[in-house]
Structure 1
Amino acid sequence: MDSNKTTAITLQTKKHFEILDGLRGVAALAVVIFHFMEWAYTDFTTNFIAHGFLAVDFFFCLSGFVIGYAYDDRIAKMGVLEFFKSRIIRLHPLVIAGSVLGLLAFLFDPFGGHPELYSTGKIILAFVCSLLLIPLPVIEDRGFNLFSFNAPSWSLFWEYIANIFYAFVLYRIKRGLLLLLTIISAVAICWVAYRSGNLLGGWSGPTFWDGAARIAYSFLAGLLIYRSNWIIKNKLGFAGIGALLFLAFLMPFSKWNWLSEPFVVVFYFPLLIALGAGVTLTGGLKNVCVFSGKISYPLYMTHYAVLWMFGNYYTTHKPDTMQLTFIIIAALILLIGAAYLVMVVYDIPVRKYLTDKRNRRLARLESVNTEKPRS
Structure 2
Amino acid sequence: MNTSPSSTEILETKQHFEILDGLRGIAAFAVVVFHFMEWIFTDPSQNFIGHGFLAVDFFFCLSGFVIGYAYDDRIAKMGLRNFFVSRIIRLHPLVVAGSILGLLAFLFDPFGGHLELYSTGKIILTFICSIFLIPFPVIADRGFNLFSFNAPAWSLFWEYIANIAYALVLYKVRKNYLMILTALAAFALCYVGYNSDNLLGGWSGPTFWDGCARISYSFLAGLLIYRSNWIIKNKLGFGGLTILLLLAFIMPSSEFNWLTEPLVVLFYFPLLVSLGAGAVLKPGLEKFCVFSGKISYPLYMTHYAALWMFGNYYTNYKPDEAQLALIVVASVILLVGFAYFVMVFYDIPLREYLKRKRKEKLSVRS
Query: Which residue is 1:323 aligned to?
Result: 323
Aligned counterparts of 1:263 and 1:5: Cα–Cα separation in 2: 43
- Given the alignment, which residue of 7, 10, 18 partners 2:9? 7
CA contact (8 A) 2:63 2:222 kept: yes
Q: Does 1:254 align with 2:254?
A: yes
Aligned counterparts of 1:356 and 1:344: Cα–Cα separation in 2: 17
Query: Which residue is 1:104 aligned to?
Result: 104
Aligned residue pairs, count: 364
Q: Does 1:60 align with 2:60?
A: yes
Query: Which residue is 1:370 aligned to?
Result: none
Aligned counterparts of 2:189 and 2:218: Cα–Cα separation in 1: 9
Query: Which residue is 2:243 aligned to?
Result: 243
3-state SS in 2 of match to 1:144: coil
Query: Which residue is 1:209 aligned to?
Result: 209
CA contact (8 A) 1:105 1:305 kept: yes
Aligned counterparts of 1:280 and 1:359: Cα–Cα separation in 2: 35
Aligned counterparts of 2:136 and 2:260: Cα–Cα separation in 1: 31
CA contact (8 A) 2:7 2:363 kept: no
Equivalent runs, 1:191-206 vs 2, <5 Å: 191-206=191-206
Q: CA deviation at 1:116?
A: 1.5
Q: Deviations over 1:93-137 (max 9, x none)?
A: 000000000000000000001112100000000000000000000
Query: Which residue is 1:18 aligned to?
Result: 18
Q: CA deviation at 1:253?
A: 0.7
Query: Which residue is 1:140 aligned to?
Result: 140
Q: CA deviation at 1:264?
A: 0.3
Identity %: 72
Equivalent runs, 1:210-225 vs 2, <5 Å: 210-225=210-225
Query: Which residue is 1:153 aligned to?
Result: 153
3-state SS in 2 of match to 1:138: coil
Q: CA deviation at 1:282?
A: 4.8
What's the C-alpha RMSD, in Å, of the aligned pairs? 1.1
CA contact (8 A) 1:233 1:275 kept: yes
Q: Does 1:230 align with 2:221?
A: no
Q: CA deviation at 1:281?
A: 1.9
Query: Which residue is 1:263 aligned to?
Result: 263
Structure 2 counterpart of 1:335, one-letter code: L
TM-score, length-scaled by structure 2: 0.98
CA contact (8 A) 1:4 1:77 kept: no
3-state SS in 2 of match to 1:66: helix
Q: Deviations over 1:352-375 (max 9, x none)?
A: 011111110000000xxxxxxxxx
Q: CA deviation at 1:7?
A: 2.5
| Structure 1 segments (4+ residues) deviating >6 Å | none
CA contact (8 A) 2:237 2:282 kept: no
Aligned counterparts of 2:357 and 2:8: Cα–Cα separation in 1: 18
CA contact (8 A) 1:38 1:50 kept: yes
Gaps of 5+ in 2: none
Query: Which residue is 2:49 aligned to?
Result: 49
Aligned counterparts of 1:137 and 1:230: Cα–Cα separation in 2: 39
3-state SS in 2 of match to 1:107: helix
CA contact (8 A) 2:241 2:276 kept: yes
Query: Which residue is 1:34 aligned to?
Result: 34
Aligned counterparts of 1:47 and 1:85: Cα–Cα separation in 2: 40
Aligned counterparts of 1:23 and 1:47: Cα–Cα separation in 2: 22
Aligned counterparts of 2:257 and 2:360: Cα–Cα separation in 1: 51
CA contact (8 A) 2:10 2:82 kept: no
